[in-house]
Amino acid sequence: MPWLALTLEVQGPAAEALSDALIEAGAQSVWLEGLRICALIDAAGDADALVAQAARRAGLGAPRFSVSAVADEDWVRSSQAQFAPLVVGNRLWVGASWHEPPPGRSAVTIDPGLAFGTGSHPSTRLVLGFLERELKGGERVLDYGCGSGILAIAAAKLGAAHVDAVDVDLEAIKATRQNALANAVVLNAMPPDALPLAHYDMVVSNILAQPLIVLAPLLAARAGRIVLSGILESQADDVARAYQAWFEVQVAGREEGWALLAGARR
**Same structural domain, 60 and 149:** no
CA distance linking residue 94 with residue 150, whole number of Å: 9
What pLDDT sits at residue 5?
83
Q: What is the pLDDT of residue 57?
A: 83
Q: Estimate to the nearest angstrom the gap between the alpha carbon of 191 and the chain centroid.
A: 16
Report the CATH number that the domain containing residue 161 is assigned in CATH. 3.40.50.150
Q: What is the pLDDT of residue 142?
A: 98
Rounded CA gap, 147 and 145, in Å? 6
User: Looking at residue 117, what is its pLDDT?
Assistant: 52
Domain boundary, last residue among 65, 81, 97 = 81
Identify the helix (H) or strand (E) that includes residue 263. strand 258-265
44 DSSP assignment: T
Same domain assignment for residues 192 and 227: yes
Consecutive H or E run containing 32: strand 29-33
* Same domain, residue pair 73 and 169: no
CB 56 within 8 A of CB 28: no
Mark whether 114 and 211 lie in a shared domain.
yes
Q: Which domain holds residue 30?
A: 3-81
Instruction: Please tell me the predicted confidence (pLDDT) of residue 30.
Output: 76
Q: How far apart are the first and last CA of the chain?
A: 56
Same domain, yes or no: 71 and 89: no
Task: Say if residue 130 is in the same domain as residue 248.
Answer: yes
Kindly state whether residues 125 and 220 are assigned to the same domain: yes
Which of 54, 81, 108 corresponds to the end of one domain?
81
Cβ–Cβ under 8 Å, residues 93 and 108: yes
pLDDT in the model for residue 212:
93
* Residues 37 and 108 reside in one and the same domain: no
61 with 104, same domain?
no
Residue 20: predicted pLDDT: 77
**Which of 81, 102, 131 is a domain's end point?**
81
Query: The CATH number of the domain where 30 resides is what?
Result: 3.30.70.1170
- Answer yes or no: are the C-beta atoms of 86 and 119 closer than 8 Å: yes
| Same domain flag for 135 and 221 | yes
- The phi-psi region of residue 137 (left if phi > 0; otherwise alpha if psi is between -120 and 50; otherwise beta) is left
pLDDT in tens, 28-54: 777 776 667 888 888 888 999 999 999
Residues 121 and 175 reside in one and the same domain: yes
Selection from 81, 68, 6, 58 nearest residue 37 by Cα: 6
As for how many domains the chain has, the answer is 2
Looking at this protein, which amino acid is placed at residue 232? L
**Can you list the residues of the chain whose pLDDT is less than 50?**
73-77, 114-115
Q: Are residues 226 and 239 in the same domain?
A: yes
Q: Output the pLDDT for position 78.
A: 52
